[in-house]
Amino acid sequence: MAKKFFNIFFAFLLIFSAFSIQLPAYAKTGGLPVKKLDVNRPEIKPGRTLSERDGERYDPDEKVRVVVELKEDPAIVDLAKKNVKFSELTAATRKNAEKKILEEQNRVKEQIKDKKIAVKFLHEFTTIYNGFSAEVKYKDIEKIEKIKQVKNVFISNKYERPKEKPEMKYSKELVEAQKAWQATGFKGEGMVVGIVDSGIDYTHKDMKLTDPSKAKLSKEKVEKLVKDNGLPGKFYTDKVPYGYNYMDQSDEIRDLGSAASMHGMHVAGIVGANGDEANGGIRGIAPEAQLLALKVFGNDPDAGYTYGDVYVKAMDDAIKLGADVLNLSLGSPAGFVSPDDPEQQAVKRAVDSGVLVSISAGNSNYFGDGYFNPLSSNPDYGLVGSPGVAYESLQVASFENSFIDLDAFKYDIMERREPSVISPLLAPIRRIITRKPLSWSMSDWDTRKTLMGKM
Contact 51, 141 (CB under 8 A): yes
Q: What is the pTM of this model?
A: 0.70
Contact 294, 194 (CB under 8 A): yes
H-state helical runs in 304-362: 308-320, 342-352
What CA–CA distance (Å, rounded) separates 200 from 291? 9
Residues for the chain: how many in total?
455
155-188 pLDDT tens trace: 998 888 776 555 556 666 666 667 777 777 788 9
What CA–CA distance (Å, rounded) separates 429 from 421? 9
Helix/strand/coil for 145:
helix
Quickly name the fold that domain 53-156 has.
Alpha-Beta Plaits (3.30.70)
Residue 360 has pLDDT above 90, yes or no: no
- Mean pLDDT is lowest, of 245-259, 348-362, 435-449, for 435-449
Report the greatest alpha carbon distance in the chain: 109
Instruction: For residues 80-106, give the mean pLDDT.
Output: 86
- Mean pLDDT is lowest, of 62-66, 71-75, 251-255, for 71-75
410-432 pLDDT tens trace: 555 555 555 554 444 444 444 33
Domain ranges of the chain: 53-156, 171-369+381-396, 407-455
Contact 359, 388 (CB under 8 A): yes
| 364 — pLDDT class (breaks 50, 70, 90) | low
Residue (of 229, 253, 245) closest to 310 by Cα position: 245
DSSP-derived secondary structure for 62-79: -EEEEEEEESSPPHHHHH
298-351 pLDDT tens trace: 999 888 889 999 999 999 999 999 999 999 876 555 444 577 889 889 988 898
16-66 pLDDT tens trace: 444 443 333 334 444 545 555 444 444 545 455 555 555 557 899 999 999
Residue (of 69, 87, 122, 431) closest to 307 by Cα position: 122
| 408 — pLDDT class (breaks 50, 70, 90) | low
Instruction: Please give the mean pLDDT across all residues of the chain.
Output: 75
Within its chain, how far is the Cα of 238 from the centroid? Answer: 25
Residue 378 has pLDDT above 80, yes or no: no
Instruction: For residues 133-156, give the mean pLDDT.
Output: 96
CA-CA-CA-CA torsion sign (56, 61, 66, 70): positive
Contact 55, 62 (CB under 8 A): no
Instruction: For residues 73-97, give the mean pLDDT.
Output: 83
pLDDT of res. 10: 42
Quickly name the fold that domain 171-369+381-396 has.
Rossmann fold (3.40.50)
pLDDT of res. 1: 54
CA-CA-CA-CA torsion sign (376, 378, 382, 386): positive
Residue 141 has pLDDT above 90, yes or no: yes
Phi, psi of 69 (to 5 degrees): -100, 130
pLDDT of res. 331: 54
Residues 6+ apart with CB under 8 A from 236: 202, 242, 243, 253, 293
What CA–CA distance (Å, rounded) separates 271 from 255? 17
What CA–CA distance (Å, rounded) separates 97 from 94? 5
pLDDT of res. 77: 86
What CA–CA distance (Å, rounded) separates 331 from 296? 11
Tell the burial category of 258 from Cβ atoms under 10 Å away from its Cβ (0-12, 13-18, 19+): exposed
